[in-house]
Amino acid sequence: MEEEKYIGVKKLGELALVDFCPRCFWFEYHYGPFPSRFPGIFNVLDNVSKKSVDRSLLQRKKLPDWLNISDVVKQVRWEEIGTVKKIKNRNYLVIKDKQSGWILRGQPDKVFELKDGTIHIIDFKTARFTSRQNELSPLYEAQLNGYALLAHKKPVSRLSLVYCEPKSELPDDINFHLEFSIKIDKIDLNRRKVFDLLMRAKEILEKKKPPPARPRCSETCFYIDKILGS
């Protein structure tokens, strides 16, 4: 029996980046991740944002005041929107692409049902919206459209990135605490892009040997060359 081949929506989104390196992509998939471009503290802060939403919905029956999203009726469980599968003790939404034969998987941050019966998928990013974030927008667009593809049981009408930007000014007191401003960035629906990326990923990852690197790549290629002594 042929082994099932999985790829995460975040990993798939890397192919949409201007500085994408197929050699890095191949090595990271087959041999595991190298040092991440995203500091771990951001994942912690993203989880705090999600917990804030959950607590507000539980205690106040509405979204927190800082999350200005309209027409929300309720938060939706993954099982209501797609197929859930446990992979290495973690639950994922999954869907198999018939053309490539690969299985797409992902974990959307929040899914809300709207008054018209459609759903709104959002993803939190703890970061200041800078030119670097703008460079990463193709990755985020592919990621959110990947979630839309995974949500095959309900119609998706909206996709949003919610940026939680740390404020640079300190409040007027002696206690240290961080404050954030919120920027919501609407993402256009384009599932076709996800199918195209899946076919490109298949072409790269099913090669027996790694493809050539992007010229002057300083990401994972740097570590690979150190290991190989080149």
Best-predicted range by mean pLDDT (28-32, 63-67, 180-184, 196-200): 196-200
Contacts of residue 207, Cβ cutoff 8 Å, sequence gap at least 6? 26
Rg of the Cα atoms in the chain:
19
Structural domain containing residue 106: 6-168+176-228
Number of domains in the chain: 1
Q: Is the pTM value of this prediction over 0.75?
A: yes
Residue 42 pLDDT more than 80? no
Tens digits of per-residue pLDDT, 162-217?
A: 988 876 665 666 565 567 788 899 999 999 999 999 999 999 999 999 999 998 88
Beta strand 156-166 pairing with 119-126: parallel
Domain CATH code at residue 54: 3.90.320
Grade residue 37 by pLDDT with cuts at 50, 70 and 90.
Answer: low
User: Reduced to 3 states, what is the DSSP secondary structure of residue 189?
Assistant: coil
CB hemisphere CA count around 81 (13 angstroms): 26
Residue 1 inside a domain? The answer is no
Question: Are 20 and 214 a contacting pair, CB within 8 Å?
Answer: yes
